[in-house]
Chain A
Amino acid sequence: MPNTPFAAGALVLALHALPAGAQEVGGAAPAEPSSREIADRVQADVDETSLRWLGITRVRYSIPLEFSAGGGAVLARMPAGYDCTTFCEYRGFVAQIEPGSAGGQLGIGYARVIATPKPRSAFLNNVYVGWSARAVLVRTWGASELDPARQTLAGFEGQFALPRLSFNLGVLRRISSAHEGADRYVYTAGIGWGF
């Protein structure tokens, strides 16, 4: 996993020896650890944490970006020994950049997501369920349906993700200048895949 400190890796190796030792076939059986030893190992396993970052991607149709593809990362702290083969909960900072056919978006915020990276992948490939709350900066261009077509907006976006779909809702406030009568606020909504 990227960004896993060396010390945490050493702990993982030490902890790995526990069940592996118990699974050895033949030879002298290792002494059974006492309840106190087991409790200490469990506590160490829970408390030794590391920061991990993993890539996130999404494609979606939304107002005002229309068709867009985003890439970014989630940075989360979790027990260092977690292998995340089945699933892990990633809880922490999220940042994503997302160019689209009618605009681009930069978002940063907080995310909680249950997901699994594929082996040797630095991306959260299987997102099971999750949500995020992000502060976003949007610049529209070209084919934008907004009036005026080119403007800069800032606001908030909430996202909820299921295994196949991801939904988002938000509100943006125009921060660039525009002609009189132009809408100041834009409600955003979108549907897509990924996180």
Chain B
Amino acid sequence: MPAAARPAPPRFGSTVLFVTLLFGLGGAGAAPGLETDQFFAWGRHLEDMTEVLNARVNLELDRLVAELNREGRDRRCQKVRFRFFKRHRMLFFDGFETWSVNSPLVSRSPSGPEEMREFEQRYIYGGTSPLFDTGRWMPPSPTVEVNGVRLGTDKLTHFLGTAWYYHRWYRKARARGVTPAEAEDRAVHRGLQHEITILGRAVSGVLSLADLEANYEGMWFYEHLCAGDDPHIVYDEAVWRLRRSFDLRDYVTPEWDESYQPNIYVRRKWRKVKPRMLGYCPMLEHPQVRARRQEYAKRDRVTETEKLIDEMVAAGKLPDPSGFSIKSVCREAAN
């Protein structure tokens, strides 16, 4: 018969000592952070990784097709989507992100132990306490460049991982007979609620609009993976084949760059982030930064996520993100 061990006698002093030691050690071993910081990459050279990252995703699509052909039968598109998602799903992080932060083929910043040490000192969330800032309990996401846009590798997890859930909400709504536009709206609203609560603002104090952009684009990647007018994968004459290669250029926009698309911060976090952001004001005149921001401005458009955020701001449910932009911070400091 199962039975628990007899209760231990009270050992208050030693337990307090142990708990203190526990948290002390925890602090010493603190993770640099969960967030990404594109400001740190300002002025640093990065190779464009579009082809490399495309090749990595296409390799996985090729392998999915080979796997489907080994089974040799037709499958529902939703099953195919899930099979792809499962191929790169890992513990907490996405397999593509894990690869991109480790592969010697990927040009990224920070990269290597020395630059990582510099990053830990300088990065925009470095002013917060590693003990109490939950956003810093996870590793940081280095910056990579895709089609001229600087983005955190966490966007790969958002685009190919979190977006799977967006797409599932979208499909569920569609299965209930909701129109595509309404289904999209429901998925995006639900995604925003997740980012406000469990995935973002409530946990780390940061609501990343760039994350939402990647989630949204990823939803359409999954939708068009094996359905619609121009799918990537088709089942044709009893054979699965990759009909159209994946290309990140179809999805990445300047809004994925968190130094361009500002996050929304809770007050306690903003107090720590703002002084660090101020330190980057002189860099706005750096030729590389200026050229990139001008290029971004040319490519900028009003996205579905931005429309939703504007609605929330108008309803007083969210603060205006423009107040957290580098331009706003530097203008305020100059006056």
Contact surface of A with B, Cβ cutoff 8 Å: 12, 15-16, 18-19, 22-23, 35, 38-39, 41-43, 45-46, 59, 61, 63-64, 66-67, 79, 81-89, 112-114, 116, 119, 125-131, 145-147, 162-165, 171, 183-187, 192-194
Interface Cβ pair total, 8 Å cutoff? 158
With A59-B22, A147-B6, A163-B30 in contact, is A38–B55 under 8 Å at CB? yes
Chain A residues in 8 Å Cβ range of B18: 59, 61, 67
Other-chain contact of B91, A38, A130, A192 (Cβ < 8 Å): A130
B177 within 8 A of A: no
- Which bucket holds chain B's interface residue count? 35 or more
A88-B139 Cα distance, complex, nearest whole Å: 10
With A16-B104, A89-B98 in contact, is A83–B112 under 8 Å at CB? yes
A171-B15 Cα distance, complex, nearest whole Å: 24
B138 within 8 A of A: yes
Q: List 8 A-B contacts (CB under 8 A).
A: A18-B105, A45-B104, A63-B5, A81-B103, A83-B102, A86-B101, A147-B6, A164-B137
A183-B90 Cα distance, complex, nearest whole Å: 40
B1 within 8 A of A: yes
B26 within 8 A of A: yes
B107 within 8 A of A: yes
B4 within 8 A of A: yes
Interface residues of B in 121-179 (CB under 8 A from A): 137-142
Which residue, A23, A84, A89, has most C-beta atoms of chain B within 10 A? A89
B276 within 8 A of A: no
B8–A145 CB distance below 8 A: yes
A128–B112 CB distance below 8 A: no
Q: Which 5 A-B pairs have the closest CB atoms?
A: A164-B26, A163-B137, A82-B102, A183-B3, A119-B113
Contact surface of B with A, Cβ cutoff 8 Å: 1-8, 14-15, 18, 21-23, 25-26, 29-31, 45, 47, 51-52, 55-56, 58-59, 90-93, 98-99, 101-107, 110-113, 116, 137-142
Other-chain contact of B31, A41, A83, A89, A128 (Cβ < 8 Å): A128
A146-B6 Cα distance, complex, nearest whole Å: 6
Chain A residues in 8 Å Cβ range of B139: 86-87, 114, 116, 126, 128
Chain A residues in 8 Å Cβ range of B58: 39
Chain B residues in 8 Å Cβ range of A22: 47, 107
A171-B111 Cα distance, complex, nearest whole Å: 43
Q: What 14 additional pairs, Cβ within 8 angstroms, besides A61-B18, A86-B140?
A: A35-B51, A43-B59, A46-B59, A46-B99, A61-B15, A82-B103, A85-B101, A114-B91, A116-B31, A131-B91, A163-B29, A163-B138, A164-B30, A183-B3
